[in-house]
Amino acid sequence: MTVDLRSDTVTKPTPGMLEAMWSAKVGDDVFGEDEAINELEAKAAAMFGMEAGIFCPSGTMTNQIAIKCFTQPLDELIADQTAHVYRYEGGGIAFNSAVSTRLLNGDRGRLTAEMIDPEINAENIHYPHTSLVVLENTVNKGGGSCYTLEQIAPIAELCKKQGLKLHLDGARIFNALVQTGDQAVDYGKYFDGISVCLSKGLGAPVGSVLLADKATIKYARRIRKVLGGGMRQAGFLAAAGSYALDHHVDRLKIDHEHAHILAEELAKCDWVTNVVPAETNIVLFDTEKPAEEILAKLEAQGIKANATDKHRIRFVLHLDVHPEQVEHTVKVLGSI
Ligand SMILES: *Cc1c(COP(=O)(O)O)cnc(C)c1O
């Protein structure tokens, strides 16, 4: 048995999704004529209470376009020090937007208005102009930790008061919604931009959407073109994304249950020194022995995972991990 816990990006399209892809009505999206893409953009925007959307090849691109739309060169953005936009997007903030980054030390990646407020630069020729705050929900590096909208509201209020834009890296926003019970449509009230990945837990093969107001999305189309992201008949991919939004959201709670089961088992293992509480579909844990040694033992039993540090391993649950695979993993963990 193989159990791939490396990432929720490893999922393959389901038969229903493939069917939806085959029957997609496509056209040239650079001319705005791809029906499947137009449908996905409208559907995602409506879901989150935003005016418009733009389909992109990756979450990296939607985040980077958002940052470009919400800043000017020489500005500064504020994010947690674990933020994907800073750590895992290849230095794109500096390269694409010529913007500097102020990194804060959040609670498992979560910021508060109190943390952000003193880091907003006063108007002074020496200081970069603070123009944007980026939040991540859930936080990847925080082990799937999530914000409730109640926690986000004061941050949004601060941003509005100080004239800052607020962008959400919502690569795993649906995991947060399923966990908190918040409504997607309410997110639009708080954020200027929302990036949603279709290729993570939702199980689409490729793609993310950026949501914002109409003027921002109009400019975003220009930036996407510059980045080489104008994709023509990409409706085959957008159809997979639409299908995922219709069929793969509610089932995320299964991934969260599986994460809990694995976290509970790990807590019983004497070779595990610490388990980060599993809030959503990610389990982080620390090992006494080097992580590489443990990964080799797991791999020998068909379980694939990644180390995120010398003594830290990450399990990510997703729609291609079924109950019998979780059971197998539990057995293997107990036998190490
Ligand atoms: C995966 C991910 C992204 C986007 O990644 P792509 O691989 O470019 O689609 C953005 N933010 C977070 C937190 C992620 O986990």
> Domains of the chain: which residue ranges?
15-247, 251-335
Residue 268 has a pLDDT of 97
Strand-pairing partners, residue 313, are 285, 307
pLDDT for 220 equals 98
The mean per-residue pLDDT over the stretch 154-172 comes to 98
Q: Would you say 252 and 8 are in contact if contact means Cβ atoms under 8 Å apart?
A: no
Cα of 59 vs centre of ligand 1, distance in Å, is 5
- What is the pLDDT at residue 286? 98
Tell me what pLDDT residue 6 has: 98
Distance, CA 44 to ligand 1 centroid (Å)?
Answer: 17
Q: How far, in Å, is the centroid of ligand 1 from the Cα of 221?
A: 20
Note the pLDDT of residue 98: 98
Which pLDDT score is estimated for 12?
A: 96
Measured from CB, residues less than 6 Å from any atom of ligand 1 are 58-60, 63, 84, 136, 140, 169, 171, 197, 199-200, 208
Q: What is the pLDDT of residue 5?
A: 98
CATH placement of domain 15-247: 3.40.640.10
Q: Whose CA is nearest to atom 14 of ligand 1?
A: 171
Rounded Cα distance between 201 and 204, Å, is 8
Q: Which atom of ligand 1 is nearest to the CA of 57?
A: 9
Closest CA to 109 of 86, 149, 136: 136
pLDDT in tens, 286-329: 999 999 999 999 999 999 999 999 999 999 999 999 999 999 99
Q: Work out the pLDDT band at 24, boundaries 50, 70, 90.
A: very high
- The number of the ligand 1 atom at minimal distance from the alpha carbon of 169 is 11
Q: 252-268 and 323-335 are packed helices; what angle lies between their axes, rounded to 10 degrees?
A: 10
What's the 336 CA to ligand 1 centre distance in angstroms?
A: 32
* Four-point Cα dihedral 6, 316, 266, 278, nearest 10: 150
- Give the residue-averaged pLDDT of 234-254: 98
What is this structure's pTM? 0.97
With cut-offs at 50, 70 and 90, classify the pLDDT of residue 92.
very high
What is the rounded CA–CA span in Å between residue 176 and residue 280?
A: 7
User: Can you name the CATH fold of 251-335?
Assistant: Aspartate Aminotransferase, domain 1 (3.90.1150)
Band the pLDDT of 150: cuts 50, 70, 90.
very high
Q: What is the pLDDT of residue 176?
A: 98
